[in-house]
Chain A
Amino acid sequence: MSLSDLLAMLPILILAFGATAILMAGAWYREPLPLLAGGIVTALLGALSAGLVTPPVPEIAGLFSAGGYARFYTILWSLLAAAGLMTGSRYIIEKRIGAGEYVSLVLYAAAGMALLSSATHLVGLFIALETFTLAFYILIASNRNCALAAEAGLKYLLLGAVATGFMAFGIALIYAASGSLVLPDAVMRLKAETGELQAWGLLGWGMILIAVGFKISLAPFHLWTPDVYQGAPAPVTGLLATGSKGAVVAALVGLLAMSGPVWNDLTDLVWLLAALTMLAGAFGALGQSNLKRLLAYSSVTHMGTLLVGVLCQTSEGFAATTFYVVVYVVTSLGAFAVIASLADGRGEPMTFDQWRGLGYRHPVRCGVLVLLLLSLAGLPATAGFMAKFAVFHAALQSGYIGLLMIGILASVISFAFYLRVTMLLFQPDEKASSWHQGSVFEHTVLAVCSSAVLVLGLFPGLLFGLIRQILP
């Protein structure tokens, strides 16, 4: 690995070495605030270096790309890590979660996500995926005073381990069938292959699809999602719902955009997965009476919609998917940040009984939550609408009319439960109790998220122009 490789890798190095330094420092120095501040500065430095330092080589050691697309996601995940640390700042102090561990794990996870989004080689893909999955195993169970967190950690661990098994076996089969681990190369050789080897290769893609299904909770592999989201600490859930899923989708889009149509033989299967996921999420959310579980099902629906964009396999579909990922990350992170900012000694407000009438106690933050929920629902003038519109438009152009209909049906159903929460928040209720006022950090994250939702909703061209330039 030469010096120019290292320079191209600078953002990842900053995140990883910063995380290691903070982990070491945290072992001796237990004051949480300086460690958190150090973590936020490291994450922002990572984002800055990804934006400002021009990589001298287009590819790092043949494993990771250093192109515009990879840089774009490196910046996004670094900023996400900073936001995750800010939303968690008060939370981890109050729940006595070790600051050094929390900060370093969030930074490691961000490094893993950034690597995953820029992987061009199956080895890079696997290592990056494991990097952030391992960090999340610990982060989810990090609140040791909470029985639900331990249970959520166990569930994520077991399903994550099974997904790792599928991923490894899928990669192995693709290697066996094609004789290459470089992504575009492997895809090309698989197409040329015939007979038995091609069948093994197809089985390999199927296995990888199952692993991806577990990671981004596609139906029928989504059953862990509500439990894990409910049990994990809200700042961690925010990261889990956005980064760990977005990075996998980003890797999928990058892979398909680089190597052309891969899964022509799997199109029907992906079609079915997308349709099933959108409907399972929408119908699952209807019966929920817990905001975190509702957001989990909402994220399932959104992943189904994202898969529609990926399925199109056109440049418009990829651009729409990338836009959708950014919008979903911002919106969903904000929603979980509202929950985290309200958390106090009693825990987090979760059940609908706890949320009833809260709009009168905390008007600003509940207003932000309503805005974010409406964006998740896809109300016009919010970013969520533009994102859904772009994906559905791409689906229409590629001729997936059936999926489009199912997507619109799922959106209409989702309006029902998002509006239910909105009405609940502003129902007069004398017994509604006050929750925590929230810290400056948390309010900053909420301000950034809600303004991003509005700006992207009104001027989507800003981001779309950038995305069209960077798509590989």
Chain B
Amino acid sequence: MMIPFGHALSFAAALFVLGLTCVLLRRQVIMILIGVEIMLNAASLVFVSASAYWQQVDGQVFVILLMAITAAEVAVALAMVVYLWRRKRTLVADEFNGMSG
């Protein structure tokens, strides 16, 4: 193992926080979804490094599953983005404020 386990985890945690910051600060739906992707990639990184640390393949299998699930999620999310654009001609999350109370 070339890289210490703690370093890999810290790097992944930093990546996760970056993704979360992107989700919280950006107002474009597409940018928010990209932030979520970064969060999921941070999770994948942890899985790969943990897989190497524990000398198991379980973590790597999970990464492949995670990719498949992310693909499904992105397919639904982008369909939604297209639908919202057609309805309202905007993708700024704050514009969707028809309900409150």
A residues in contact (CB < 8 Å) with B:
122-123, 126-127, 130, 134, 137-138, 141, 144, 147-148, 150-155, 157-158, 161-162, 164-166, 168-169, 171-173, 175-176, 179-181, 196, 200, 226-227, 230-231, 287-290, 293
- Taking the nearest CB of chain B, how far is it from the CB of A128, in angstroms? 11
Question: Are B46's CB and A130's CB within 8 A?
Answer: no
Beyond A148-B99, A231-B99, 20 additional pairs, beta carbon < 8 A: A123-B65, A134-B72, A138-B76, A141-B83, A147-B98, A150-B96, A151-B96, A154-B84, A157-B76, A158-B23, A161-B73, A164-B73, A165-B40, A165-B43, A169-B16, A169-B43, A172-B12, A172-B47, A172-B50, A200-B9
Question: Are A158's CB and B99's CB within 8 A?
Answer: no
What secondary structure prevails in chain A residues at the interface with B? helix
> Cβ of B93 < 8 Å from any Cβ of A?
yes
Question: Are B101's CB and A175's CB within 8 A?
Answer: no
Q: In whole angstroms, how far apart are the Cα atoms of A393 and B5 in the complex?
A: 46
**Nearest chain-A residue to B49 (Cβ)?**
A176
CB-CB under 8 A from B32, the residues of chain A are 158, 161
**Nearest chain-B residue to A129 (Cβ)?**
B69
B residues in contact (CB < 8 Å) with A:
5-6, 9, 12, 16, 19-20, 23, 29, 32-33, 36, 39-40, 42-44, 46-47, 49-50, 53-54, 56, 58-59, 61-62, 65-66, 69, 72-73, 76-77, 80, 83-84, 87-88, 93, 96-101
The CB with the most chain B CB atoms within 10 A, among A161, A171, A227, A289, is that of: A161
Q: In whole angstroms, how far apart are the Cα atoms of A141 and B16 in the complex?
A: 29
Q: In whole angstroms, how far apart are the Cα atoms of A173 and B42 in the complex?
A: 10
What secondary structure prevails in chain B residues at the interface with A? helix
Q: In whole angstroms, how far apart are the Cα atoms of A165 and B5 in the complex?
A: 21
Q: How many A-B residue pairs have CB under 8 A?
A: 132
CB-CB under 8 A from A179, the residues of chain B are 50, 53-54, 56
Q: In whole angstroms, how far apart are the Cα atoms of A155 and B77 in the complex?
A: 11
Question: Are B36's CB and A126's CB within 8 A?
Answer: no
A227's partner among B16, B23, B50, B99 (CB-CB below 8 A) is: B99
Q: In whole angstroms, how far apart are the Cα atoms of A151 and B92 in the complex?
A: 12
Question: Are B84's CB and A290's CB within 8 A?
Answer: no
- Taking the nearest CB of chain B, how far is it from the CB of A261, in angstroms? 24
Q: In whole angstroms, how far apart are the Cα atoms of A154 and B43 in the complex?
A: 24
- Taking the nearest CB of chain A, how far is it from the CB of B66, in angstroms? 6
CB-CB under 8 A from A154, the residues of chain B are 29, 80, 84, 93, 96
Question: Are A176's CB and B53's CB within 8 A?
Answer: yes
Q: In whole angstroms, how far apart are the Cα atoms of A117 and B97 in the complex?
A: 34
Question: Are A151's CB and B99's CB within 8 A?
Answer: yes
CB-CB under 8 A from B20, the residues of chain A are 162, 165
CB-CB under 8 A from B12, the residues of chain A are 172
CB-CB under 8 A from A152, the residues of chain B are 99
